[in-house]
């Protein structure tokens, strides 16, 4: 069975505090405890999922590794839900003995899914690319073929539980099963552990994969690589690898869906008299005609110069917002010319500067 995201299991955000994690686990444990849900066959699995999620996220070191590498960053012995005192941290040792999650004999489980964050430039996301990534992953130990036993030996049946993986505990009037404390619910004991995997049956390796990124992806999109997750146990198949896309900010463009946006600085003269501007697009340069009397902040749309989404649909547009740039470092002659120009405007502001005139009228009415 593929492992779900630990944050999703507990219903919390990735920025949740330690107190929020503990509170969420308390709620889930009480909700799905098998003794409270005898008529729901799925409650036991949900209960074990919540316990496993809490044991990882309540440990700062394990949580940091999980946030970076997903299930591959967490040691397999910590992620199995049989270790740690997370449950007793909340309910106490006695309550844990009564309501410990029950386990079965040695079973086969599909490997865990993995997650990888891939950063792309805007151009790579828009046009597509192929990236090489290197990930840590737990794989079946070749020395022992996943048994965990030293080469030439085999695991033996646990003498405590007789190979069932469970022991029955009596606590007052309660009689419940819980994982065998000696074999940790596997039903088998390893007398001579494998020297390579130390009895875990898996070792961590790094592998390099080629990821084909389709054109038009955006932040939050995921690419699934089937069978590239962690190795399964007991002969089950591996999990999948999900590559999550993060598009880096761009110096010129910003993206919103299929449209691109950019600011274009223009001079006072161009804004007043109009003219043709050369603006950038992701495919090269384009010409933008600015009409006479253009105001700062005015937007112009270039059709079909945006992005074609990976989900299909029409190509978006490029929206250019013109920003009037005030000249700086003027010479005395230039200042004199500007002063002469301003003098020529006296008495005719309502004609040449309608917004300024209406603003003055509004201010006058305000004070009156």
Confidence of residue 215 (pLDDT cuts 50, 70, 90): very high
Check pLDDT > 60 for residue 224: yes
Same domain, 128 and 258: no
Confidence of residue 171 (pLDDT cuts 50, 70, 90): low
Q: Residue 351 falls within a domain, yes or no?
A: no
DSSP state of 263: E
- In angstroms, what is the C-alpha Rg of the chain? 33
Same domain, 127 and 227: yes
Print the SS3 string covering 45-78.
HHHHHHHHHHHHHCCHHHHHHHHHHEHHHCCHHH
pLDDT tens, 43-76? 888 888 888 888 888 888 888 888 877 777 775 5
Mean pLDDT of the residues in the chain: 81
Check pLDDT > 80 for residue 218: yes
Confidence of residue 257 (pLDDT cuts 50, 70, 90): very high
Residue pair 200/208 in contact (Cβ under 8 Å)? The answer is: no
Check pLDDT > 90 for residue 192: no
Q: Give the model's pLDDT for residue 345.
A: 79
Check pLDDT > 70 for residue 165: yes
Among residues 168, 183, 17, the alpha carbon closest in space to that of 107 is found at 183
Calpha distance 189→149 (Å, rounded)? 9
Q: Residue 198: which CATH number?
A: 2.60.260.20
Check pLDDT > 90 for residue 162: no
Same domain, 136 and 199: yes
Confidence of residue 90 (pLDDT cuts 50, 70, 90): very low
Count of alpha carbons within 13 Å of 125, Cβ hemisphere only?
Answer: 27
Same domain, 143 and 275: no
Same domain, 232 and 307: no
* Residue-number span of the structural domain to which 213 is assigned: 107-155+190-248
Average pLDDT over residues 234-238: 75
Check pLDDT > 80 for residue 358: no
Same domain, 85 and 25: yes
Percentage above 70 pLDDT, the chain: 83
What predicted TM-score, i.e. pTM, was given to this entire model? Answer: 0.57
- Residues whose CB is less than 8 angstroms from the CB of residue 50 and which lie 6 or more positions away in sequence, other chains included: 9, 10, 25, 28, 29, 32
Same domain, 8 and 90: yes
Same domain, 240 and 293: no
Q: Residue 243 falls within a domain, yes or no?
A: yes
Q: Residue 46: which CATH number?
A: 1.10.287.110
Same domain, 198 and 126: yes
Same domain, 229 and 258: no
Same domain, 83 and 118: no
Confidence of residue 305 (pLDDT cuts 50, 70, 90): very high
Average pLDDT over residues 343-366: 71
Show the DSSP H helices in the chain as ranges. 6-10, 18-32, 43-57, 60-69, 76-79, 86-91, 93-99, 122-127, 268-273, 332-345, 349-352, 354-367
Rounded to 10 degrees, the C-alpha dihedral 318/321/326/327 comes to 10
Domain count, the chain: 3
Q: Taking CA 130 as the corner, what is the angle to CA 285 and CA 310, rounded to the nearest 5 degrees?
A: 65
């Amino acid at each position: 069975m593929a492992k779900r995201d630990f944050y999703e299991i507990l219903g919390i955000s990735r920025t949740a505090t330690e107190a929020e994690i503990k509170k969420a686990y308390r709620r889930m444990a009480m909700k799905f405890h098998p003794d409270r849900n005898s008529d729901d066959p799925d409650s036991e699995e949900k209960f074990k999922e919540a316990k496993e999620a809490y044991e990882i996220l309540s440990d700062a070191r394990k949580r940091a590794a999980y946030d970076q590498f997903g299930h591959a960053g967490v040691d397999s012995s910590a992620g199995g839900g049989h270790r740690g005192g997370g449950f007793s941290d909340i309910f106490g040792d006695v309550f844990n003995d009564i309501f410990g999650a029950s386990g079965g004999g040695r079973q086969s489980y599909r490997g865990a899914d993995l997650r990888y964050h891939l950063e792309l430039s805007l151009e790579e996301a828009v046009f597509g690319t192929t990236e090489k990534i290197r990930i840590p992953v737990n794989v079946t130990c070749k020395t022992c073929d996943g048994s965990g036993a030293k080469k030439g030996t085999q695991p033996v049946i646990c003498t405590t539980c007789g190979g069932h993986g469970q022991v029955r505990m009596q606590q007052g009037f309660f009689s419940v099963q819980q994982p065998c404390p000696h074999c940790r619910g596997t039903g088998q004991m390893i007398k001579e552990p494998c020297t390579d995997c130390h009895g875990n049956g898996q070792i961590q390796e790094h592998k390099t994969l080629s990821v084909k990124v389709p054109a038009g992806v955006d932040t939050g999109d995921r690419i699934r690589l089937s069978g590239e997750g962690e190795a399964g146990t007991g002969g089950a198949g591996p999990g999948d690898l999900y590559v999550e896309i993060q598009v880096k900010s761009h110096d010129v463009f910003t993206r919103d869906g299929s449209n691109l946006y950019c600011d274009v600085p223009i001079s006072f003269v161009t804004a007043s008299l109009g003219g043709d501007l050369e603006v950038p697009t992701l495919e090269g340069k384009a010409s933008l005609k600015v009409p006479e009397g253009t105001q700062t902040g005015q937007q112009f749309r270039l059709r079909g110069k945006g992005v074609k989404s990976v989900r299909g649909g029409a190509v978006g547009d490029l929206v250019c917002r013109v920003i009037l740039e005030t000249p700086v470092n003027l010479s005395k002659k230039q200042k004199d010319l500007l002063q002469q120009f301003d003098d020529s405007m006296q008495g005719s502001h309502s004609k040449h500067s309608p917004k300024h005139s209406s603003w003055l009228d509004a201010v006058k009415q305000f004070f009156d």
